[in-house]
Amino acid sequence: MATRIFGSSIKRREDPKLITGEAQYLEDIQLHGMVHAAVLRSPYAHANIRSINVEEAKAVDGVIGVFTGKDFEELPALPCAWQAGGVDNNANTPRVLEIERVTFTGAAVAVVVAENRYIAQDAVGLIEVDYEPLPVVVDAEEASQKGAPQLHENAPGNICMDWACGQEEGTEAALEEADVVVKQRIKNQRLIPTPLEPRGAIAQYSPASEEYTVWMTSQAPHVMRLLMTAFVFGIPETKMRVISPHVGGGFGSKIFLYPEYCLVAALAKKVGRPIKWMETRGENYVATTHGRDHISDIEVGVKRDGTVTALKVKTYANLGGILSTIAPGIPTTLYGRMLSGVYKIPNIYCQVLGVYTNTAMVDAYRGAGRPEATYLVERVMDLVANELKMDPSELRRKNFIPADAFPYEPADDILAGLKYDSGNYEAVLDRALEVTDYKAFRQEQEKARESGRYLGVGFSSYIEVCGVAPSAWVGVGGQGWGAGLWESANVRVHLTGQVVVTTGTQPHGQGHETTVAQVVADELGIPFEDVIVQHSDTLGTPFGYGTYGSRSAAVGAVAVYNSLQRIKDKAKLIGAHMLEASIDDVIYEDGKVHVKGAPTESKTIQEIAGQAALAYDLPEGMEAFLDDTAYYDPPNCTFPFGTHMCMVEVDRHTGQVDIQRYVAVDDVGRVINPMIVDGQVHGGIAQGVAQALWEHGVYDESGQLVSGSLLDYAIPKASFLPSFELDRTETPSPVNPLGVKGAGEAGTIASTPAVVNAVMDALSPLGITHIDMPLTAERVWQAVQQNGNGG
């Protein structure tokens, strides 16, 4: 192909609307006659609801109705679509409004519908609920102990599921035989995703057609429609249309089906007017899903020369008071199965207890399971290096899966039959060492120590799994997901040669309209401007599972690619017919079908599209139009990797951590648009660094969310962060014809351990080997006082 735009940093075509204020987010949508809903939430973390008095609220001028759970008794609890594979999941899920009991602060118990939001909010304050408070437990380990308050009858000991992967016996035996065994308890604290736009929904109901239209802040509109119609409302999916308008970030928290989305749809029918509900930031903190929250005990066995021989992990995964849509799948398939990291670890065993506690629902947050796995593995590497007095980069190198071992199957069937697709882990490490001038840094560090300054460098050599889609693997029989996870695309070449692509994925900042158009323009050999990409509306797009898990390129764009191949095949048939040539004698090249060896004997794709659409002279029996829909079900996942390095200075007197340099060398397979990929990496790094240093979702013992506002939950400001230095290698994925792997989560997955390892490296002269995150000044200072004698 002549000039390709695959691989070029084309400016995003989504931006003009976003930089001028024209883009419509959910809250910007106004419908004629629209009313507003406000939700009353439980102030208790665990309580029985004795009674609810709505009379005073109803009497407020402008209030249209006040409703409680009893008004929606006919609607079942929401579905849990991804249960942990191969084990019992004692699932308990939210109702549209809770009726008898609440299990976390912020659970929805009543709703006011009013003429405007101010009135609705006023009236919410007038609803009286008589609660019977119950004992509370917020810590997953405590909740699993004898005598802990019990949340659900069907989940004795508060255990949702007890899941394991790997080989217990072999791992135990290898630990026995190891020269050195390092043990550590490692916590991965609760995080709160905090997209800048909170959640919201608008619904409208047509009594004449019995159809709902629901706009929602969703990363997966088709899945929302499926879950709402089939599992909650019990209506055909053709009776509901779901639209995601512009979505202001999601990071996983907008994948799920939430009670309020169903509530708003049900209310639209009850009230007979279009209705809008928009979450406040305060509600977003208490009632939108949280992420992470693991407590893990690890044991790692090594030989004296640094060869890791065994890794055993036991994890308490906090799932919250009730299950969100895919909660059990995150700390199992996406976590335990990734614990081999980039290393040849011959014996692995991981047990995960999924535990109910009186906290908000925990589900996928950017990286979802993989950051938790990577954090453990990469902390383990540094703990071992420290114990053996080895250089952390050399220890990593010693244990890397070698470049000639791909496809590589991690030991003990930990990945349940899948294989890492491709990789070259030493190459990214070497590149990172070179960019940072590692040797020079070590010398500088030495000198600084002599003058009482504490510099540190941290490594994170990570792998992640993207394109979690192979239906046979992820689906019901394997990893427990309630469906396959293929992705779809439709390509239509219109009469004039303009191409309309519709996708089942849903961008909310990732720039699909640009990158997908790049793929299409290249494949068809047409101008980028001639392609438009439509998405996010169940009307007019093929069913798709949505955007999360860095899957839109590795699965969604490949569906587009497959459609394009069939479009080209048909174009060749028509072109050959127009040229009066045999199909075997023509090729498709640079936007034209031409006779082999005679490039001037050609028909452009535009001419062929016109011929196909007008259809008065097509090959015998051929259908009109260039139109193709593809459903791509990949044979394997993809496995991006990289090495990140972080350099810090720690002030031992204040505990303050200062990031001096952050270098990321990523390999996300082939890159469609480097500018967009870099942006994804920047944002990902910021979120991962934030986990390492600042963010923490904290509940007090009574189950109140202490970090329930932007005042208390420390998402980073610009001044907290440095600029990042990015580099990359490109190892194409053999899994798909585009060679792409996925880039949305790599930054988040890699950066957290890089930062923590850097701080531990800085503090190593003080004998400090581990501090649990976030490494706030206070925590670091405390550790220095306890271990390093402050001085």
Binding site for ligand FES (CB under 6 A): 196, 249, 509
Q: Closest distance between ligand FES and the C-beta of residue 448, in Å?
A: 36
Q: Per CB under 8 A, which of residues 512..571 are in contact with other proteins? A: none
Q: Residue 714: what residue type?
A: A
Nearer to ligand FES, 118 or 443 (CB): 118
Q: Closest distance between other proteins and the C-beta of residue 193, in Å?
A: 8
- Residue 658 interacts, among ligand FES, other proteins, none and using kind-specific CB cut-offs from 5 to 8 Å, with none
Phi, psi angle pair for 164, to nearest 5°: -145, 155
Q: Per CB under 8 A, which of residues 27..66 are in contact with other proteins? A: 27-28, 30
511 binds other proteins (CB under 8 A): yes
Nearer to other proteins, 457 or 689 (CB): 689
407 upstream amide cis, omega within 30 of 0 = yes
Binding to other proteins by CB under 8 A, coded x per residue (else -) over 73-112, reads ----------------------------------------
- Residue 2 interacts, among other proteins, ligand FES, none and using kind-specific CB cut-offs from 5 to 8 Å, with none
Q: Looking at the DSSP assignment, which residues form a beta bridge with residue 3?
A: none
Nearer to other proteins, 209 or 723 (CB): 723
Q: Closest distance between other proteins and the C-beta of residue 510, in Å?
A: 7
Member of 282, 527, 732, 788 binding other proteins (CB under 8 A):
282
709 binds other proteins (CB under 8 A): yes
Reported residue count of the chain is 791
The CA-atom distances, in angstroms, between 315 and each of 75, 293, 350 are: 35, 10, 8
In our burial notation (b when 16+ CB lie closer than 10 A, e otherwise), range 705-743 reads: bebbeeeebbbeeeeebeebebebbebbbebbebbbbbb
CB-nearest residue to ligand FES: 196
Q: Is the dihedral of CA 217, 219, 223, 227 positive or negative?
A: negative
Q: Closest distance between ligand FES and the C-beta of residue 246, in Å?
A: 11
Q: Closest distance between other proteins and the C-beta of residue 761, in Å?
A: 23
Q: Is the dihedral of CA 473, 475, 477, 478 positive or negative?
A: positive
Q: Closest distance between other proteins and the C-beta of residue 157, in Å?
A: 37
The CA-atom distances, in angstroms, between 89 and each of 78, 140, 158, 323, 328 are: 15, 16, 11, 10, 8
Tokens, residue 626 = 């260039």
697 binds other proteins (CB under 8 A): no
Q: Per CB under 8 A, which of residues 179..218 are in contact with other proteins? A: 194-198
Q: Closest distance between other proteins and the C-beta of residue 276, in Å?
A: 11
Nearer to other proteins, 23 or 777 (CB): 23
Q: Closest distance between other proteins and the C-beta of residue 365, in Å?
A: 12
Nearer to ligand FES, 68 or 550 (CB): 550
CA distance 286 to 698: 11
CB-CB contact of 374 with 462 (8 Å)? yes
Nearer to ligand FES, 458 or 684 (CB): 684
Q: Which of 119, 107, 114 is nearest to 67 (CA)?
A: 114
Member of 55, 118, 599, 765 binding other proteins (CB under 8 A):
118
- Residue 675 interacts, among other proteins, ligand FES, none and using kind-specific CB cut-offs from 5 to 8 Å, with other proteins
| Cβ-based burial of 406 (10 A; exposed 0-12, middle 13-18, buried ≥19) | middle
**Which segment (287-295, 519-527, 572-580, 718-726) binds other proteins by CB under 8 A?**
718-726
19 binds other proteins (CB under 8 A): yes
- Residue 15 interacts, among other proteins, ligand FES, none and using kind-specific CB cut-offs from 5 to 8 Å, with other proteins
| Cβ-based burial of 476 (10 A; exposed 0-12, middle 13-18, buried ≥19) | middle
682 binds other proteins (CB under 8 A): yes
CB-CB contact of 785 with 767 (8 Å)? no
CB-CB contact of 465 with 373 (8 Å)? no
774 upstream amide cis, omega within 30 of 0 = yes
658 binds other proteins (CB under 8 A): no
What is the full DSSP assignment across 546-575? Answer: -S-TT-IIIIIIHHHHHHHHHHHHHHHHHH
Which residues contact other proteins by CB under 8 A? 11-12, 14-25, 27-28, 30, 118, 194-198, 246-249, 251, 280-282, 508-511, 675-676, 678-680, 682-687, 709-711, 715-719, 721, 723-724, 747
